[in-house]
Structure 1
Amino acid sequence: MSVEQGALRRRPGNSAGITRDRIVAAARAIGPTALTMQAVATELGVDRKAITYHVADREQLLSLLAVDAFKTRFQRTKIAPTATWDEALVAFATSVANSLIASGSVAVYLRLAGETDFGMVEPAEVVLKRMIDAGFREEDAGRALSMMTNLAMGFARDVILNSDPDGHPQQPELHRVLDASGSGELSVLRHLDSSGFSTYDDRQLEFLVRTTISGLRALQVD
């Protein structure tokens, strides 16, 4: 037996016909709650070693699941050829937020390192070109895009946290402080809390994007 043949025998993922795409598809069918390495192996009808050849552990499985959900949605991002720089930026930020929200509870495991491709970065290139054409310096455009991405992702993570049956983890803390304070104190916070005010809806994302764009206008070079 040659060295090459021996190497092939030691690759259970290959011999079982298992690929990372098949593993992700199986993980998607199982769902994050019941997801384990053994559950994926059982779903695919192979030995667990065939899975560990491609994926190290459950955390990496969850990361792959999060990337799959994010990419599937984000790659649908469409920026109209006639869109202005601010319209392009709105479309980009909205897509980032909605794509992360679509990944649901596994969003905290999202790691795009090594998982990016042309479909993932093309919308960013479009936004940058629109901004530069509109009079932004290249560096300012890059910083603006990064800032908008961070804002959109932060908003999305808050929405996901708030989707828990107990609500966002900050809410009990706010109520604890309100209950401990005097009735005449923290009146604005009390009113906002009792009025149904929310920072986890589309209006909040719109506010973030709109105010950011207003500030960015000052950076345009005449």
Structure 2
Amino acid sequence: MPRIRKPTTTTAQRKPGKRAGLDLQQIVDAARLIEVDALSMQSLADSLSVDRKALNYHVKDKPTLLGLMAMDAFSARFSGTDIAAADSWEDACRIYGMGFFEGVRSVGGLAEYLWFGGSVAAWALEPSEALFQRLKDAGFADEAAVRLVAMLISMSLSHARDAAQAVAEGDRPRTRALKAALRDAQPVAYTNLSRIAELGVDTYGTTQMEVVLDMLIAGARTRLEKT
């Protein structure tokens, strides 16, 4: 997946907003060197030794900038290189889903700024093209393939954000909330939940993602066999 980059222009060709000769990749690279808490449009302009208006030509505000940083980090981890070479469509789905999960998780606290729509849709062209080809070759109808890939994305994104929350809070939020609720309830009325709360199953890591993918793929395989 190519990194974010706009075509360069000569000095004579630059419009007023391009006087500094910046492109998006330069801006993102510079922003990555500044702590998120200290990052602002002005601090970034200062680090690049440009007027803030030069940044506004490319990036309108800090949330947009954080979104670009997250997308850049994500696209560096999520690639379609191995999908076409997978041994089966099931493995292709696993590679896609796990790559998506790891890509989102790699951006850490910036995950909330990832937005997979609009002009940044190019993040997934290569891996998605490869996956849809594998699904077509396996016999999936286009609508079924679209629904399967949408579920892969939704579940991978949701789980990655869950994992980021667990890291940020230093524990397992669902287990903590369940134990807190049981402390204020009658334990004998919730024997199953009390047992589950003490198991200590980690539902935030890679193992959980693997289980999610296995279950989703098993369901997709069953539907494919029926049709």
Class of the TM-score when normalised by the shorter of the 2 chains:
0.7 to 0.9
Asked whether 1:56 is paired with 2:54, we answer no
Asked whether 1:153 is paired with 2:123, we answer no
**Residues 34, 189 of structure 1: alpha-carbon distance in 2 compared, 3 angstrom cutoff:** farther
**Residues 49, 106 of structure 1: alpha-carbon distance in 2 compared, 3 angstrom cutoff:** same
Letter in 2 for 1:180: D
Is the contact between residue 105 and residue 164 of structure 2 (CA under 8 Å) also seen in structure 1? yes
Per-residue CA shift, 1:91-120, capped at 9, x if unaligned? 100000000001111111112321233x62
**Residues 77, 153 of structure 1: alpha-carbon distance in 2 compared, 3 angstrom cutoff:** farther
- Structure 1: segments with no counterpart, 5+ residues: none
Which of 207, 214, 219 is residue 218 of structure 2 equivalent to?
214
Which of 7, 14, 18 is residue 14 of structure 1 equivalent to?
18
Equivalence map 1:1-222=2 (5 Å):
8=15, 11=16, 13-75=17-79, 77-112=81-116, 113-117=118-122, 120-167=124-171, 169-221=173-225
Deviates further, 122-131 or 93-102: 122-131
Is the contact between residue 27 and residue 40 of structure 1 (CA under 8 Å) also seen in structure 2? yes
**Residues 82, 48 of structure 1: alpha-carbon distance in 2 compared, 3 angstrom cutoff:** closer
* Secondary structure in structure 1 of the residue aligned to 2:37: coil
In structure 2, what is the Cα distance between the partners aligned to 1:152 and 1:191? Answer: 28
In structure 1, what is the Cα distance between the partners aligned to 2:68 and 2:181? Answer: 39
Q: Counterpart of 2:9?
A: none
Percent of matched pairs sharing the same residue: 32
Per-residue CA shift, 1:70-89, capped at 9, x if unaligned? 11111365225252110100
Deviates further, 132-141 or 208-217: 132-141
The Cα of 1:183 is off from its aligned counterpart by 2.7
In structure 1, what is the Cα distance between the partners aligned to 2:176 and 2:222? Answer: 39
- Structure 2: segments with no counterpart, 5+ residues: 1-11
Is the contact between residue 158 and residue 168 of structure 1 (CA under 8 Å) also seen in structure 2? no
**Residues 69, 31 of structure 1: alpha-carbon distance in 2 compared, 3 angstrom cutoff:** farther
The Cα of 1:176 is off from its aligned counterpart by 2.8
**Residues 170, 195 of structure 1: alpha-carbon distance in 2 compared, 3 angstrom cutoff:** closer
TM-score, structure 1 as length reference: 0.86
Letter in 2 for 1:101: R
Letter in 2 for 1:31: E
Aligned positions, number: 213
TM-score, structure 2 as length reference: 0.85
